[in-house]
Amino acid sequence: MSPQPQQPEHSEQSAQPAAVSPAAPPAPPALTEVEAHGVERIPDADRTARPLDLFRLAFGGANTFSTCVLGAFPILFGLSFWQGLAATLLGVVVGALILCPMAVFGPANGTNNAVSSSAHLGVHGRVVGSFLSLLTAVAFFSISVWSSGDALVGGAHRLFGLERDDVSYGVAYALFAGLVLAVCVYGFRFMLFVNKVAVASATVLFLLGAVAFAGDFDPSYAGVFTESADAATDALFWPSFIGAALIVLSNPVSFGAFLGDWSRYIPANTPRRRVVGAAFLSQIATLVPFVFGLATASIIAAKAPDYVDPAAPDFVGGLLAISPGWFFLPVCLLALIGGMSTGTTALYGTGLDFSSVFPRLSRVRATVLVGALSIVFIFVGRFGLDLVRSISTFATMIITCTTPWMVVMMLGWFTRRGWYDPEALQVFNRRQRGGRYWFAHGWNWRGLTAWWVSALVGVLFTNIPGQFVGPLGDLANGVDIGLPLSLVVAAVLFLALLWIFPEPRAVYGPEGARLARTVDVPVPPITGPGTPADEIAPPAASRA
């Protein structure tokens, strides 16, 4: 009798490993497997990314030649090296602090940030985030292609005597754009691989650049705000310092609409502090390309000042003019790697989000369409309209409008205590109606009002020296207070609207609202055609 009860016990123990093995983490899909997921919620089984992957993507997208160009702006504005370094540190740190909370939406909801914004702007109001991400992607994709293409052609000219004509530049731009589009079509895993390589190789090349320019670098470069400067020049110091810091700040903030594109593959149970920390550190790490741009710009200003003329700056040309001959090849490699990295992080998210605005388009088709339109803009803007000089102004204005949207999102997360209904977030994508986030016919005018009012205020008070001055931009003695003012207005106005015009109780989680009042109203049922999740993307088993 005694062996009989022992045998089932032994059978259970032997069966235990078989029961545990299915719970083992799944292997990531192959690099060359085209990503099937769109903006539907990523299944838990497919979430194999880590916070380190988020760091690589966000840092890789900024560890590029285009960031060096932004890093040169403090010198273009007349600051000394140390003043420029202070402005750069201020811009990077503040920008990283503004950006990093935007990383939490992806793991929580398994989708991108524009779709998550349905909770605060409404089922239809979420198109605001899609529109902003589209403009941001086109702007920064163009900056990366133009700056990297110019560097590649310039380096090839110095190395091999390549003619610097429109044909050469056109081929370089087409090469970058085509490679970027191919990577984005394959999707997240291929893009992650590219950025893993880019982070390490670009960092090594920047450090090699530090060796190349060490003999010419003089940290005592004084700029124009010296003791001998006249009163009119001195009066421009703070406008120039704040303007330089805000241009630097625009780089980390530009990732706000895209963080969810990458963090949605991180498991939902990952500690939030690790996700937020990865996003923050990814931007602190961009001090490498920023300081490289700042230091080399100070050398250019001393040795080849014509290249840093604020009326017609040419950082790439100046860099090539002061580079030792052996550094031309690393410059070309930096251009190639940087163009790929920045371009993929910008274009991938926009193609993904565009597929949610037009649900009949798959992620691949939407990526190809947006990529084609972006390439047309790059060529027309470069050869037809000469927009290269004004694209930095365009990017800054987009950031001024995007930052209040980020404030609404982050305060919405705080007031909701991080609680969301994933099914209700997908109503727009499934061509349905109703749900917790339907509000007034799909629009939450509280979040929308806070966004457009504060964005308008930011534009009105913008003052970018030599580029754009808003109608009220001179009220602060030339200091650009547009972005800081829009941040404050967005926060105060959104919280005030939530208190005066309370949202439905149903949009808040079981713990209720924080810093907001609620009202009990029925939740409209979700109705309409809908598209089953297994039609939006094949299940993981079938793709394997």
Is 124 domain-assigned?
Answer: yes
When pLDDT is averaged across residues 160-189 and rounded to a whole number, the result is: 82
More confident residue, 162 or 415: 415
Count CB-CB contacts under 10 A for residue 135.
Answer: 17
Instruction: Report the pLDDT value the prediction gives residue 10, as an integer from 0 to 100.
Output: 39
More confident residue, 530 or 263: 263
Number of domains, the chain: 1
Instruction: Report the pLDDT value the prediction gives residue 88, as an integer from 0 to 100.
Output: 97
Is 252 domain-assigned?
Answer: yes
Strands 518-519 and 503-504: parallel
35, 322, 448, 455 from 492: Cα distances, Å: 41, 49, 14, 13
- Mean per-residue pLDDT over the chain, rounded: 83
Is 523 domain-assigned?
Answer: no
Instruction: Report the pLDDT value the prediction gives residue 36, as an integer from 0 to 100.
Output: 60
Instruction: Report the pLDDT value the prediction gives residue 132, as an integer from 0 to 100.
Output: 86
Is 338 domain-assigned?
Answer: yes
Is 416 domain-assigned?
Answer: no
Is 527 domain-assigned?
Answer: no
Q: Could you tell me what percent of the chain has a pLDDT over 70?
A: 87
∠19-24-26 over CA atoms, to 5°?
130
When pLDDT is averaged across residues 233-244 and rounded to a whole number, the result is: 88
Q: Identify the burial level of 514 via C-beta atoms within 10 angstroms of its C-beta, where 0-12 means exposed, 13-18 middle and 19 or more buried.
A: exposed
Is 295 domain-assigned?
Answer: yes
Instruction: Report the pLDDT value the prediction gives residue 534, as an integer from 0 to 100.
Output: 35
More confident residue, 465 or 441: 441
Q: Is 278 helix (H, G, I), strand (E, B) or coil?
A: helix
Identify the residue whose tokens are 């003089």: 218
Reported in sequence order, the residue ranges of 462-513 that DSSP labels E, i.e. its strands, are 463-464, 468-469, 503-504
Mention every residue, 6+ apart, whose C-beta is less than 8 A from residue 319.
Answer: 68, 151, 296, 300, 331
* CA 310/CA 392 separation, integer angstroms: 13
Query: Above 80 in pLDDT, residue 385?
Result: no
Query: Above 50 in pLDDT, residue 20?
Result: no
Structure tokens at 169: 């530049």
Where residue 1 falls among pLDDT bands split at 50, 70, 90?
Answer: very low
Query: Above 80 in pLDDT, residue 309?
Result: no
User: If we measure between CA atoms, which residue out of 308, 467, 310 comes closest to residue 396?
Assistant: 467
CATH of the domain at 340: 1.10.4160.10
Query: Above 50 in pLDDT, residue 533?
Result: no
User: If we measure between CA atoms, which residue out of 21, 193, 27 comes closest to residue 543?
Assistant: 27
Instruction: Report the pLDDT value the prediction gives residue 165, as an integer from 0 to 100.
Output: 86
Q: Show the domain range for 77.
A: 51-387
* CA 489/CA 454 separation, integer angstroms: 5
Q: What is the residue type of 20? A: V
Q: Of the segments 24-33, 130-139, 261-270, 306-315, which one has the largest average pLDDT value? A: 261-270
